[in-house]
Structure 1
Amino acid sequence: MAAVEFGLAVHEQVLALGPKARRGLLARIADAGIERVCLGDHVSFHGGTGFDGLVAATAALATEDRLGALVGIYQAALRHPMTTARQLSSLAEMAPGRVVLGVGAGGEDRAEVANCGVDPSTRGARLDETLQVLRALGTGEQVDHDGRFFTLDAARILPAPTPAVPLVVGGASDAAIRRAARHGDGWLGIFCSARRFAATVQDVRAQAADLGRDVGWFGLQLWCGLDDDPAVARDLLAPRMESLYRLPYEKFSRVAPAGTPEQVAAFLAPFVEAGAGHVSLIPTARSPEAAVDHAAAVRELLLRS
């Protein structure tokens, strides 16, 4: 099987744990051979839930030098690209080559979008323009921009990230696929079947080639329950997803597996065969330590297959 870079979602633990416990957990992840941590992002989701992805990434990167960070999905359409570019510059200066930014248009909670001063009906177009501006500012050159949503006059962000921070687009809609092909360095899937993932990889590559671009970064974020007892794994995963998304777990069960490491690895194998070079688990387990150990077992099983 092709090489896979493996990640583990830890945003809640990174923000909530004290310094000693945070160091211990991130060291355990790195010792297990996992290459990245994955940090989510929401401003105010379904009544107030949230976690700032770039703040959490800063904490993780400053704590454990052996780990990279994938921020995804960052609600870039809800922020001004000038301030996002400054944060990326600072992160890249602190941890060069260790940051990937996954972006999405949001919209699952229209109130979150509207309360950030963004018209929910224009969030996709706003994200397209945001990506154009972020890419221009990421060069370190002076940027003049007069667009539908943003106006910049002799704007500049220094130092320019070196190497550049990859911008990968999340979402399975036709608009997201076009966005990844036109503006992204890659595509990040979530809540999709292996068949849909494979088709999207092909679509993004083909549309990018038509534009004279080469998009080669493809990843998957996977909610999963992990335990030696599959029934326990489901009992751990279902209430967590239902609480966050306000939907019954049955709506997600086909794309968010619960089971043993062997079962989750078997679920993931077709995605890797379809081109997923980056796999990030969003796990539920009996403890954060158990989540790391089970995720490491999934990783080993995938790499051996």
Structure 2
Amino acid sequence: MTRYGYFLSCEEHTPKALVEQARMAEDAGFTSLWISDHFHPWTDAQGQSPFVWSVIGAIAQATRLPVQTAVTCPTVRMHPVITAQAAATSAALLGPGRFRLGVGSGEALNEHVLGGPWPRAAVRLEMLEEAVEVMRLLFRGDRVNHRGRHYTVENARLYTLPDEPVPIDISAFGPAALELAGRIGDGLVAIAPDKGAVKGFRGMGGAGKPVFGGVKVCWGPDREAAVDTAHARWAVEQLPGELNQVLPTPTHFEQAAQLVPRETVARNVTCGDDVDAHVTALREFAAAGFDRVHVNQIGPDQRGFFDFYRTKVLPQLVG
């Protein structure tokens, strides 16, 4: 049975607002949390980007919901050793079974800030695989010495660990990433209800492993106003190809977003207060084979969204 969680957007909200949304999500009946990890927002209109690991620490004290990063890049901006320490501490704070580390190959938007080169996609996946190898050794409590193609680790050991190793789930958007996710991941992270991707993942080593999804909506009593909000804040999600991985600054994303028509957002993002439309959007993930789906409300009206989902949408999905 598919379960439903809430997707916390670090790109749009302050740390305190994210913690309050986590509380509201629990009260509304959501059963888990996703949280994004960014150094920059995609655009200045989104306006925020707190350090995700601090926010997770606060959430651990505010709710009893499990948390998954969606997703962290452990390869460039943060070395895998430091990512492993952050994840292990988060898992120790949250308690048994309440933290999963979602990882991906990253975007230049967040990762180029230290001034290094931004590798091509095949190299980024190679780096991700090596990073996961290093983190798994550290999660076992081993003293790690590693000299690989991309990372060197010397006498590293995590002294603060959860009771069980942190599960590592892989974000995948194409055949090479799906193969990697199936081969080394504890689960798959995806943001589209793609039945073919789920089938491919499970056929390439992911059989029996969970699949986690996320989707953005914009609830509001005025659908046209909701479409305007979604277009202003998240037109970037409709950009084609590899633009999201290679553009380096929010300014570049703002320029690219000008090419996304309002009608594209209206067609592809569930907006307004039509209960059936929201239920249908989430059921598409269930039909594609997802085990858990996280929904994010675009914009400031979080309280209205949670009331709507608590009373109208979740009862139809879990009843």
What is the CA RMSD across the aligned residues, in angstroms? 2.6
Deviates more, 1:235-244 or 1:76-85: 235-244
Taking the aligned partners of 1:175 and 1:250, their CA distance within structure 2 comes to 32
Question: C-alpha offsets along residues 82-134 of structure 1, whole Å, 9 cap, x if unaligned?
Answer: 11111112112111221122111123xx3543333353323222112111111
Partner residue in 1 for 2:246: none
Q: Which runs of 5+ in 1 are unaligned?
A: none
Using the TM superposition, give the Cα deviation of residue 15 of structure 1 relative to its aligned residue in structure 2, in angstroms: 0.8
The Cα shift of 1:13 comes to 3.9
CA separation of 1:71 and 1:24: change in aligned 2, threshold 3 A? closer
TM-aligned CA distance change 1:127 to 1:99, over 3 Å:
same
CA distance in 1, matches of 2:161, 2:117: 28
Task: Give the Å deviation of 1:168.
Answer: 1.2
Name the CA distance, whole Å, in 2 between partners of 1:100 and 1:253. 33
User: Which residue of the other structure, out of 250, 272, 282, is the alignment partner of 2:286?
Assistant: 272
Per-residue CA deviations over 1:149-202 (Å, capped at 9, x if unaligned) read: 112234221233223322111131222212211221111111x3x3xx211111
- Unaligned 5+ runs, structure 2: 237-249
Partner of 1:153: 154
SS of residue matched to 1:264 = helix
Query: Equivalent of 2:226, from 227, 230, 233?
Result: 233
Report the counterpart of residue 106 of structure 2 in structure 1: 106
Give the alignment of 1:1-305 within 5 angstroms: 2-11=1-10, 12-13=12-13, 15-17=15-17, 25-45=21-41, 50-64=49-63, 66-78=64-76, 79-96=78-95, 97-107=97-107, 110=108, 112-116=110-114, 117-121=116-120, 122-190=123-191, 192=192, 194=193, 197-208=194-205, 214-242=207-235, 245-246=253-254, 247=257, 248=260, 250=263, 255-260=268-273, 261-284=275-298, 287-296=301-310, 297-304=312-319
Is the Cα–Cα contact under 8 Å of residues 141 and 157 in structure 2 kept in the other structure? yes
One-letter identity of the residue aligned with 1:7: Y
The Cα shift of 1:10 comes to: 4.8
Contact 1:137 1:157 in 2 (8 A): yes
What is the CA distance between 1:221 and its match in structure 2? 0.9
Which amino acid in the other structure matches residue 279 of structure 1?
V
Pair 90,111 (structure 1): closer, same or farther in 2 beyond 3 Å = closer
Q: CA deviation at 1:24?
A: 5.2
TM-score normalized by structure 1?
0.83
Amino acid at match of 1:204: F
| Alpha-carbon spacing, 1:163–1:254, altered in 2? closer, same or farther (3 Å) | farther
**What is the TM-score normalised by the length of structure 2?**
0.80
> Could you say which structure has the higher strand fraction?
1
How far residue 263 of structure 1 moved from its aligned partner, in angstroms, is 0.6
AA in 2 matched with 1:283 = Q
Q: Distance in 2 between matches of 1:73 and 1:24?
A: 21
Find the aligned partners of 1:45 and 1:26 in 2 and give their Cα distance.
Answer: 20
Taking a change above 3 Å as real, the CA distance of residues 47 and 126 of structure 1, as seen in their structure-2 partners, is: farther
Taking the aligned partners of 2:304 and 2:4, their CA distance within structure 1 comes to 20
Structure 1 letter corresponding to 2:318? L
Q: Distance in 2 between matches of 1:252 and 1:128?
A: 34
8 Å CA contact 1:224–1:257 kept in 2: the answer is: yes
Deviations 1:231-262 (A, max 9, x none): 33322211111377532255555543223332
Cα distance in 1, alignment partners of residues 307 and 187 from structure 2 = 29
- Give me the identity figure in percent: 23
Shift of 1:219: 1.3
Query: In structure 1, what residue type is equivalent to 2:186?
Result: D
Change (3 A) 1:164 1:259: farther
8 Å contact from structure 1 (residues 140, 158) kept in 2: yes
Query: In 2, distance between residues paired with 1:271 and 1:33?
Result: 18
The Cα shift of 1:140 comes to 1.2
Tell me how far apart the structure 2 counterparts of residues 253 and 47 of structure 1 sit (CA, whole Å): 19
The farther-off stretch of 45-54 and 254-263 is 45-54
Flag the 1:298–1:86 CA change in 2: closer, same or farther, 3 A: same
CA contact (8 A) 1:44 1:50 kept: yes
CA distance in 2, matches of 1:23, 1:143: 34
Counterpart-to-counterpart distance in 1, 2:266 and 2:183: 32
